Amino acid sequence: MFIESIEKSKKNLKISDKIKIFDTTLRDGEQSPGIALTVDEKIQIAKRLDNIGVNTIEIGFPAVSEGEKESARKITELEPKADLCGLARVVKSDLDALLDCDLSYVHTFIGSSQLHREYKLKMSKETVIEKAVEAVEYGKEHGLTVEFSAEDATRTDIDYLIELYKSVESAGADMINVPDTVGVLFPSATKILIERLKEEIKIPISVHCHNDFGLAVANSLAAIEAGANQSHLTINGIGERGGNASLEEFVISLIVAYGIKLNIDTKQLYNLSDYVSKVTGIKIPPNKPIVGGNAFAHESGIHVDGILKNAATYEPIAPELVGHSRKIALGKHTGASALKSKLNEYNISMDENQFCNVYDEIKALGDKGKTITDADLKAIAITVLGKS
Ligand code: KIV
Ligand code: ZN
C-alpha cells in the first residue's frame, strides 16, 4: 500500500533526534510592514510562546530602538524556560546592545551573496568573513551562545558559503543558520544544500525559510529531512513580504505527517494564533491550514455525512489537537444528515414535512449566495414551526 511505502521511505531520512523550534514572531514577524507591537504585547506573546514549549524565542533586535531594549529586558526578567535570543548585525555595538539587556544568546548576521556584498554592504568576500569572525569571537568572549546567519545564503556561491560558515565555526559559533532570505529555494534543492553543508560543518544547522513562493514550510521540512537541527518559524507565518515558515503548520506536519515527537503543547496553537492575529492586525485567511476558520469546517452534504459517521473521513487531525473546533456550515451543499444534526444540537424537533420546508429554504438561500448562520437556521425553523 502507498501509505506503507511512505512509512518505509521515512526510515531513510536523516532526521535529527532533537529538532529545535526557534520562534521569530517577535523579530522577523514584527518586521512585517504595518506591525508595531507594544512592549506589553511583546511580553504577552513571549509568555505564550514559552508556555507552548518552543526552544528559543527571538525577542527582537535590541540595537534598533529603546522600545526594543525595554521589551528585551522585561522578557528576560520573566526568566522563561525557553532560550531568549536577540538579533545583531556583525558589529560590536549591536552585540553590546544585546548584552545590555542581559541576553545570553545572539543571532548575528551579515549578507553573503554577491548582491548583498556588492550593492548593500560594498564589502569584499574577505571583509565579510573578517567581520563575521570578529563578531562571533566577540560574542564568545562575552559568554554568549552564538548563532550565525549568512543572509541570502541561498543565493550565495556554495564554495564561498562553506568557507564563510567554516570560518565562523572555527571562531566558536554554536550554530549556523541558513536563511532563504527571499524564498527562492524549493524542497529538493533545500535537501541538496543542507546535505552538502552537513558534510562540511560539524556544529548544528538551522534554517530560516521565507514564503515568497509559498514554499517556506515545505522547504523547512525538507531541511529537516536532510538533517537540519532547527527551523526558524513565526506564528501564522507572519514576516516580511510573503512571510516566514508558519510555526503551527511546521509543528503539526512534523508531529502528524512525520511522526516526530516534539515538546510542544499543540492544544494552545489556535489561541496563540488568534492572539497574534489580534495584536498584529494581520487577519488569518479562512483557508489557512491548522488555525483558519475553515480548517475544520464542513458544508458539503457528502462530507458532513462522513464526518458525522467518523470525523476522520474528512479531517486529517482532530480539531482539539490544536485547540480549534469543528464547524458544520449550512448552505446550498448541505445534506439532510447535516441539517438533522444541527436541529438536534438545538433541540428543535419537527415532522417530516416541516423538515422538508426548512431544508428547501436553506437550499434556496444558499443558491442566492447567502451564508446561513446557526441563528438564521433557528429563525427559519421557528417560522416553519409557527406556520404549521
Ligand atoms: O531573512 C533573513 O535573511 C533574516 C536574517 C536577519 C537572518 O531574517
Ligand atoms: Zn528573515
Quick: pLDDT tens for 263-297: 999 999 999 999 999 999 999 999 999 999 999 99
The pLDDT of residue 1:
62
Strands (E), the chain: 20-23, 56-60, 83-89, 105-111, 145-151, 175-180, 205-209, 230-233, 297-298, 327-328
The atom of ligand 1 lying closest to the CA of 27 is: 8
Amino acid at residue number 308: L
- Cα of 347 vs centre of ligand 2, distance in Å, is 52
CA distance 130 to 168: 9
CA distance 349 to 355: 9
ipTM, 2 dp:
0.99
The pLDDT of residue 371:
83
What is the DSSP pairing of strand 105-111 with strand 327-328? unpaired
- Cα of 235 vs centre of ligand 2, distance in Å, is 14
Nearest ligand to residue 60 Cα: 1
Q: Which residues contact 234 (CB under 8 A, 6 or more apart)?
A: 23, 24, 25, 28, 29, 243, 244, 245, 246, 247
CA distance 136 to 142: 10
- Cα of 233 vs centre of ligand 2, distance in Å, is 9
CA distance 301 to 311: 14
* Ranges of the chain whose pLDDT falls below 50: none
Q: Which residue has the cell 524564498?
A: 183
Residue 175 — φ and ψ, nearest 5°? Answer: -155, 145
- Cα of 146 vs centre of ligand 1, distance in Å, is 15
Pocket of ligand 1 (CB under 6 A): 28, 109, 149, 151, 179, 181, 208, 210
The pLDDT of residue 249:
98
CA distance 365 to 207: 49
Amino acid at residue number 213: F
223 neighbors 178 (Cβ within 8 angstroms): yes
The pLDDT of residue 361:
95
Q: At what angle do helices 352-367 and 374-387 cross, to 10 degrees?
A: 130
Nearest CA to ligand 1 atom 8: 28
pTM, 2 dp: 0.95
CB-count burial class (<10 Å; 0-12, 13-18, 19+) for 37: buried
Other CB atoms within 10 Å distance of the CB of residue 3: 6
- Cα of 179 vs centre of ligand 1, distance in Å, is 6
For ligand 1, pick from 30, 154, 181 the residue to mutate: most ligand atoms within 8 Å of CB.
181
The pLDDT of residue 95:
98
Nearest ligand to residue 155 Cα: 1
Q: Which residues contact 112 (CB under 8 A, 6 or more apart)?
A: 128, 150, 151, 152, 153, 156, 160, 161, 164
Nearest ligand to residue 184 Cα: 1
- Cα of 371 vs centre of ligand 1, distance in Å, is 42
- Cα of 254 vs centre of ligand 2, distance in Å, is 21
Nearest CA to ligand 1 atom 1: 181
Nearest CA to ligand 1 atom 5: 151
The three cell numbers of residue 7 are 512509512
The pLDDT of residue 13:
87
For ligand 1, pick from 22, 147, 151 the residue to mutate: most ligand atoms within 8 Å of CB.
151
Which residue, among 115, 186, 201, has the nearest Cα to 156 in the 3D structure?
Answer: 115
The pLDDT of residue 11:
80
DSSP category for residue 214: S
